[in-house]
């Protein structure tokens, strides 16, 4: 018998025994080592996604671990292999899939939301979702590959180019990752973030961070010689963040919408008209994004250890959700599922 963290009702999680499901044809059984808690997990915890999440539900999709068993017909994988999971299962038949956009399948199963996730000691998934990890990459750091893949996809959607000036509005985990990936692509980057702790972390990572209470458009004007930014990423999820992201853009600037906005927002469309701006949405990732994310975490472009605020054992996962909800000095919390033989810690 193994243990799993389950969402049972709004603001209620428990840690309960779970019977491992043996891998069937084309499946593998994993021993998750570390699982990150993200903003989507918090939305589930708040009860905001009960239309999709059917309690009791095992959460978690940012993970690293090792293969325990392989099912019939699985080739190229063996027990002991270090892996992460691209947690997407698509139907391959809807209009989006037929156009090659499987990651936004119109009937997408996001594993960890629509089906059981990784916050358990044994987890059975399709072998097709596996992404190999290098043996040199510590498993705690590898748990940040999934959010890094989000950032890689976002920067790709915005078509960030060498030398461009980029403003990231929102300096949480994904915002900082976007800033780091954009910097790795050769861009000059500024981060706009309300939290003093997160601004300090950004500065420690070599990024320039601004307080949104200051006149950010004026700061961008000074920085760019009144040309405006080439690209802005809206990662805050706030109405004010949308305004800032639009206001900082120069002629033919690109706004990449990353945050999930649960309600319609007012947008300055005259600004879009006057400066011929472009708005692009960015959701999830594809396999190439994941593979690039593995490389970026492995080579230190993404200093994953600096982004991990705390590691808690599986039994303490419910309290970790409350700590993240409270904000403060927390960036990324990992849940230790007790399956890392190296005992790695950030």
Helix (H) or strand (E) holding 140: helix 139-142
Sheet order of strands, 249-257 included: 208-210, 188-192, 165-169, 229-234, 249-257, 278-281
Q: What gap in Å lies between CA 284 and CA 210, rounded to an integer?
A: 27
Known catalytic residue at 43:
yes
Provide the token pair at 159: 């078509």
Nearest residue to 216 (alpha-carbon basis) of 187, 243, 238, 197:
243
Helix (H) or strand (E) holding 244: helix 239-247
Backbone angles phi, psi at 54, to 5 degrees: -105, 110
Q: What gap in Å lies between CA 64 and CA 52, rounded to an integer?
A: 24
Nearest residue to 43 (alpha-carbon basis) of 29, 25, 57, 24:
57
Q: What gap in Å lies between CA 216 and CA 222, rounded to an integer?
A: 10
Backbone angles phi, psi at 43, to 5 degrees: -60, -40
Q: Do residues 273 and 295 make contact, with C-beta atoms less than 8 angstroms apart?
A: no
Q: What gap in Å lies between CA 336 and CA 316, rounded to an integer?
A: 9
Report the chain's terminal Cα–Cα distance, integer Å: 28
What is 66-84 written as a DSSP string? Answer: EEEEE-TT--S--TT-EEE
DSSP 340: -
Among 43, 101, 197, 261, the one annotated catalytic: 43
Among 2, 15, 40, 224, the one annotated catalytic: 40
- b/e for 100-116, b at 16 or more Cβ within 10 A? eebbbbeebebbbbbeb
Active site residue ranges: 40, 43
């Amino acid at each position: 018998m193994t243990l799993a963290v389950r969402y049972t009702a709004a603001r209620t999680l428990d840690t309960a025994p779970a019977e491992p499901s043996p891998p069937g044809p084309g499946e593998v059984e994993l021993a998750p080592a570390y699982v990150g808690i993200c903003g989507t997990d918090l939305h589930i915890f708040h009860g905001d996604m009960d239309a999709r999440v059917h309690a009791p539900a095992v959460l978690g999709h940012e993970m690293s671990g090792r293969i325990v068993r392989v099912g019939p017909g699985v080739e190229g994988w063996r027990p002991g292999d270090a892996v992460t999971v691209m947690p997407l299962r698509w139907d391959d038949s809807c209009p989006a899939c037929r156009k090659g956009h499987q990651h936004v399948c119109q009937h997408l199963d996001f594993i960890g939301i629509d089906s059981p996730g990784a916050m358990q000691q044994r987890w059975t998934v399709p072998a097709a979702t596996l992404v190999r990890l290098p043996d040199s990459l510590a498993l705690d750091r590898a748990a940040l590959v999934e959010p890094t893949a989000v950032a890689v996809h976002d920067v790709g959607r915005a078509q960030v180019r060498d030398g461009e000036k980029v403003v990231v509005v929102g300096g949480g985990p994904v915002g900082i990752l976007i800033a780091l990936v954009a910097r790795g692509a050769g861009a000059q980057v500024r981060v706009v973030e309300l939290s003093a702790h997160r601004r300090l972390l950004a500065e420690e990572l070599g990024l320039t961070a601004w307080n949104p209470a200051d006149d950010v458009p004026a700061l961008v004007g000074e920085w760019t010689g009144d040309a405006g930014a080439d690209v802005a990423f809206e990662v805050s999820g706030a109405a004010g963040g949308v305004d800032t992201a639009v206001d900082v853009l120069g002629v033919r600037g690109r706004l990449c919408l990353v945050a999930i906005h649960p309600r319609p927002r007012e947008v300055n469309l005259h600004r879009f008209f006057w400066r011929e701006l472009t708005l692009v949405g960015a959701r999830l990732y594809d396999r190439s994004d994941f593979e690039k994310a593995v490389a970026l975490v492995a080579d230190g472009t993404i200093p994953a250890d600096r982004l991990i605020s705390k590691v808690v054992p599986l039994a303490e996962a419910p309290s970790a959700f409350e700590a993240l909800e409270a904000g403060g000095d927390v960036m990324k919390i990992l849940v230790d599922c007790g399956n890392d033989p190296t005992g790695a810690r950030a």
